[in-house]
Amino acid sequence: MISEAEKEETLLEPEAEVAPEEPAEEDLMETMEKEVEAEESAETVETPVEEPLEEEVKPKKKKKGEEEEFVEEKTYTIPLSKALIMPPRKRSPRAMRILRAFVIKHMKIPSRAEEEDELPPTLTIRPEVNEFVWGRGIEKPPRKIRVRATKDKEGNVTVHLAEGA
């Protein structure tokens, strides 16, 4: 038969195994929380140091809650008078093609990507520019337009209507 001392030992053994596991799990959680807090505090300390350096090099502009970094920004007056050579119903489309070709040439947008995996840079013409060209209809586009072209760090170019146009 089993003596009382052996019963007590067997009863204590499972309890002894269970008891150390619970604090170990709590210790793991606490250490993980401390590591996360340390990383967050390290990130907050490093972030202000990096941001002013980027702001000095590249101007930033907010766009619908997001921040974009612009590498290059230029203002152009684009002559669209050659669009008037076309028949009346083809003038505004011709003016848009002239505008697109001018920006591609002057902002040096490559036609192909350098690597196969890489996407080629895109040209985006904002709706306000399109509305300005098409504002008087298909037959009477403006003779010139003043635009602001911005190139981001990936090479994508966006054409905005210049202020005061």
Q: How confident is the model at residue 127 (pLDDT cuts 50, 70, 90)?
A: very high
Average pLDDT over residues 115-140: 92
Neighbours of 146 (CB within 10 A): 15
Give percent above pLDDT 70 in the chain: 63
Q: What is the CA radius of gyration of the chain?
A: 33
| 144-152/157-161 β-pairing | antiparallel
* Residue 84 in this model has a pLDDT that exceeds 70: yes
Q: What is the mean pLDDT of the chain?
A: 77
Give percent above pLDDT 90 in the chain: 47
User: pTM, whole model, 2 decimals?
Assistant: 0.58
pLDDT value for 116: 72
* Residue 83 in this model has a pLDDT that exceeds 90: yes
Average pLDDT over residues 140-147: 97
Total residue count of the chain as it appears in this document = 165
The residues spanned by each domain of the chain are: 1-57, 68-161
Q: How confident is the model at residue 33 (pLDDT cuts 50, 70, 90)?
A: confident
Taking CA 47 as the corner, what is the angle to CA 45 and CA 49, rounded to the nearest 5 degrees? 85
pLDDT value for 162: 94
CATH superfamily of 68-161: Ribosomal protein L31 (3.10.440.10)
Residue 98 and residue 87: Cα distance in Å, rounded?
A: 15
Helix, strand, or coil here: 110? Answer: coil
Which comes out higher in pLDDT, residue 50 or 92? 92
* Residue 117 in this model has a pLDDT that exceeds 50: yes
Do residues 149 and 158 touch, judged by C-beta distance below 8 A?
A: yes
pLDDT value for 118: 80
| Range with lowest mean pLDDT among 1-15, 26-40, 105-119, 131-145 | 1-15
Q: Kindly report, residue by residue over 45-75, the tens digit of the pLDDT.
A: 444 444 444 334 444 454 554 556 788 999 9
